């Protein structure tokens, strides 16, 4: 990959803007000043990237994958309406790259969220036929017993959906805390399932998305990972 295209792929600006960075000798890759727009860059060998002596985190190419510990009051959208976008939690210039969330989390829901520019990976993770498990820690408004778990595992009819949805697993941690595993991804599914079972969700945290978690990250923190090697 030529240096000019590499810088554009890092989100560092338009072709003209990246040409100006190179012409100004502002670009350092692996501590070497790079001034040739046609210089060949192997993204796999880039361990450090600096622009005007400012360290940037090199974006893995051609595809990147991010684990994000989503805080409350952030929208999973590039065009948020009421709260900031989860993409604003990423640093410049990463937040401007073309990427999508793998599934969504409601604004008030916290926990692991995967971001990527790999459309095939996104499809595999969200396709119903793959039944990727998602584990949620649910804070309940009303005290519950094992009857709630039985109802959820047997299946509930979602309001306005006319379809019965079953939990893969359901376990009470205490009377007000439920650990719920689902393999589908309907709109507001956990909240609607709990409501259909006669209770109410007052807080929701996604502990795991497939094999990936984010509780090792600070709230709002993120990290690149490789799907085949990251077994959180």
C-alpha to C-alpha distance for 50 and 69, rounded to whole angstroms: 26
What are the structure tokens assigned to 197, written together?
Answer: 């079972």
Task: Give the Å distances, CA to CA, from 31 to 40, 120, 123, 200.
Answer: 16, 34, 38, 55
Task: Give the Å distances, CA to CA, from 88 to 57, 81, 97, 160.
Answer: 16, 14, 12, 34
For 178, the enclosing helix (H) or strand (E) is: strand 177-182
Q: Please write down the HEC assignment for all residues of 27-38.
A: EEECCEECCCCC
Task: For the chain, give the number of residues.
Answer: 232
What DSSP designation does 87 have?
A: G
Q: Judge whether 75 and 81 are in contact, CB under 8 Å.
A: yes
Residues recognised as catalytic: 106
For 35-148, strand residue ranges (E) read 49-51, 54-56, 65-70, 100-101, 110-116, 134-140
């Amino acid at each position: 990959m030529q240096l000019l295209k590499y810088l554009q792929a890092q989100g560092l600006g338009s072709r003209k803007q990246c040409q100006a960075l190179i012409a100004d000798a502002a670009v350092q890759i692996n501590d070497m000043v790079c001034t040739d727009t046609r210089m060949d860059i192997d993204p796999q060998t880039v361990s450090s990237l600096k622009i005007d002596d400012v360290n940037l985190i090199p974006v893995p190419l051609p595809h990147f994958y991010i684990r994000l510990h989503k805080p409350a009051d952030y929208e999973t959208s590039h065009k948020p309406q009421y709260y900031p976008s989860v993409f604003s939690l990423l640093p410049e210039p990463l937040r401007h790259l073309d990427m999508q969330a793998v599934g969504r989390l409601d604004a008030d829901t916290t926990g692991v969220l995967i971001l990527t520019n790999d459309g095939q990976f996104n499809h595999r993770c969200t396709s119903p036929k793959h039944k990727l498990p998602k584990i949620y820690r649910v804070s309940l408004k009303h005290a519950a017993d094992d009857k709630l778990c039985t109802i959820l595992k047997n299946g509930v009819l979602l309001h306005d959906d006319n379809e019965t949805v079953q939990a893969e697993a359901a376990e009470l941690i205490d009377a007000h805390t439920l650990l719920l595993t689902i393999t589908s991804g309907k709109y507001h599914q956990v909240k609607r399932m709990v409501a259909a079972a006669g209770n109410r969700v007052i807080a929701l945290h996604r502990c795991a998305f497939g094999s990936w978690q984010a509780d090792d990250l600070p709230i709002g923190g993120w990290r690149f990972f490789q799907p085949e090697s990251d077994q959180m």
